[in-house]
């Protein structure tokens, strides 16, 4: 499968997806640590992709997303942004609202399928 198709599939199949360096419980950079902590604080399950273990994704996602840096948070198929945006949204409460709403909608969609 083409790497762009893989990226599209990951985004489509995961309501809340964080592309990061490392894992949420073992981040490999400060920006990924801040982002994953903010998302974990929302209390919803989320998927992640360790771009250090996936060099093809690391090389191709910035072009696909038109976003040059990592981490990248995707919610309901839309790019939210990177560490600064995630941190700002966490501070003003909008991240929790976005994550909880997307999670609730995904749960409803699954029960209706």
Annotated binding-site residues read 21, 29, 58, 70, 83-84
What are 26's strand-pairing partners? 23
How far is Cα of residue 45 from the mean position of the Cα atoms in its chain? 11
H helices within the chain, ranges in order?
Answer: 3-13, 30-40, 55-65, 83-92, 94-112
Residues in the annotated binding site for [2Fe-2S] cluster: 29
- Six-digit token string for 24: 């949420």
- Please say whether the dihedral angle defined by the alpha carbons of residues 98, 99, 103 and 109, taken in this order, is positive or negative: positive
Residues in the annotated binding site for glutathione: 21, 58, 70, 83-84
């Amino acid at each position: 499968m083409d790497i762009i198709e893989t990226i599209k599939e990951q985004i489509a199949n995961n309501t809340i997806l964080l592309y990061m360096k490392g894992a949420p419980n073992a981040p490999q950079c400060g920006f990924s640590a801040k982002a994953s902590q903010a998302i974990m604080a929302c209390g919803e399950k989320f998927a992640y992709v360790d771009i250090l273990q996936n060099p093809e994704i690391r090389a191709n996602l910035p072009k696909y997303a038109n976003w040059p840096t990592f981490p990248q948070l995707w919610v309901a198929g839309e790019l939210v942004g990177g560490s600064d945006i995630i941190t700002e949204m966490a501070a003003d409460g909008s991240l929790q609202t976005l994550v909880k709403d997307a999670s609730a909608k995904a749960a409803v969609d699954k029960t209706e399928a």
